[in-house]
Homo-oligomer: A and B are copies of this chain.
Amino acid sequence: MTGWIAVDWGTSNLRAWGMEGDAPVWEVATAEGMSTLDPEGFEPALLAAVGDRLDGPTDVFACGMAGSRQGWAEAPYVPVPAPPGSGDAAVPPVSDPRLRVRILPGLSQADPPDVMRGEETQIAGLLAREPEFDGAVCLPGTHSKWAHVSAGEVVSFRTAMTGELFALLKSSTLRHSLGEWEEAPFLDAVSEAMSRPERIVTDLFRIRAAHLLDGDGTGTSRLSGLLVGAELAATRPWWLGRPVALIGAEKVRDAYAAALRAQGVPVMPHDAATATLRGLAAARTAMAG
């Protein structure tokens, strides 16, 4: 028996949770992300993941790329400034009468142009827990998001391609020069990239040369640190002089927390899945009300 279903449907993954009120009671994850599916493929993919849990008509609240133009049903972006979680949900067509699906919209920014889908729900989850939060929210990932949140609204935000660059560069010429991640060389590289951001394209090759000439084994740590440092250099107006709520999975969150604390920034870590579920639960409550 399931009260409702929460779904985080991203580019490369689908995660779904059976919910009783605000509490998850089961969880499934598949690799059927938005990028692997035609519009007709979303309902079968959802049923494959959660169909055997359905014992009657069930509300499904989803966030993420399933609501993009290339997704299941487009939920148009809400322009900032706006409360995260505001705007109209999309209702995709379904064949199975047990599914009552709503997909929450993302946020857009006109100048400079920027978009997010999914992270706004995590920010809404943070605000559901801390309605008075005023500061920066950092959501590290494939496309890291930085949002300025004040008076219950996302005022502005920026996206950095940090995680995608890390994945791309791990398969580049640098692939021969990586090794295990360690905090000390990571923090050194963060600091170098922040103080000399103009050197990023030469500092990246230096990883390869240091390995070739000196057998340096800190490549993974330095690659990760240079990219996180470049992100912190680009987003300085967001975190400088503000408390930072850091929403992410444990490993990436710990690395960003170390990098930010090394700059003297107060950091409050939050679990990503918990924030997503709080945001989806808040959307469900708002629509019921």
Q: Could you tell me if A214 and B172 are in contact, using CB atoms closer than 8 angstroms?
A: no
Asked whether A227 is an interface residue with its Cβ less than 8 Å from the other chain, the reply is yes
0/1 interface trace, chain A 133-156, chain B, CB 8 Å (1 if under)? 000000000010000000000000
| Residues of B contacting A115 in the complex (Cβ-Cβ under 8 angstroms) | 208-209, 212-213
Residue tally, chain A, CB below 8 Å to B = 45
| Residues of B contacting A77 in the complex (Cβ-Cβ under 8 angstroms) | 213
Q: Could you tell me if B201 and A173 are in contact, using CB atoms closer than 8 angstroms?
A: no
Q: Could you tell me if A159 and B233 are in contact, using CB atoms closer than 8 angstroms?
A: no
Interchain CA distance A112-B214 in the complex, whole Å: 11
Which segment, of A21-29, A163-171, A256-264, faces chain B? A163-171
The answer to whether residues A198 and B233 also contact, given A114-B206, A115-B213, A143-B205 and a CB cut-off of 8 A, is yes
Asked whether A235 is an interface residue with its Cβ less than 8 Å from the other chain, the reply is yes
Q: Could you tell me if A161 and B204 are in contact, using CB atoms closer than 8 angstroms?
A: yes
Asked whether A288 is an interface residue with its Cβ less than 8 Å from the other chain, the reply is no
User: Which of B113, B143, B162, B169 contacts A213, CB < 8 Å?
Assistant: B113
0/1 interface trace, chain A 251-273, chain B, CB 8 Å (1 if under)? 00000000000000000000000
Q: Could you tell me if B161 and A205 are in contact, using CB atoms closer than 8 angstroms?
A: yes
Asked whether A1 is an interface residue with its Cβ less than 8 Å from the other chain, the reply is no
0/1 interface trace, chain A 193-205, chain B, CB 8 Å (1 if under)? 0000111111111
Q: Could you tell me if B205 and A114 are in contact, using CB atoms closer than 8 angstroms?
A: yes
Asked whether A236 is an interface residue with its Cβ less than 8 Å from the other chain, the reply is yes
From A236, which residue of chain B is reached at the shortest CB distance?
B198
Q: Could you tell me if B113 and A202 are in contact, using CB atoms closer than 8 angstroms?
A: no
| Residues of B contacting A202 in the complex (Cβ-Cβ under 8 angstroms) | 158-161, 231, 234-235
User: Which of B172, B198, B201, B208 contacts A227, CB < 8 Å?
Assistant: B201
Given contact pairs A109-B209, A114-B206, A200-B200, a sample of 6 additional A-B residue pairs in the complex whose CB atoms are under 8 Å apart: A161-B172, A161-B201, A164-B173, A168-B168, A197-B197, A199-B233
Task: State the A residues within 8 Å of B (CB).
Answer: 77, 108-110, 112-115, 143, 158-162, 164-165, 168-169, 171-173, 197-206, 208-210, 212-214, 216, 227, 230-231, 233-236
**CB<8 Å pairs between A and B, sample of 13:** A108-B213, A113-B209, A113-B210, A113-B214, A113-B216, A143-B205, A159-B202, A159-B206, A161-B202, A168-B168, A168-B172, A199-B234, A202-B234
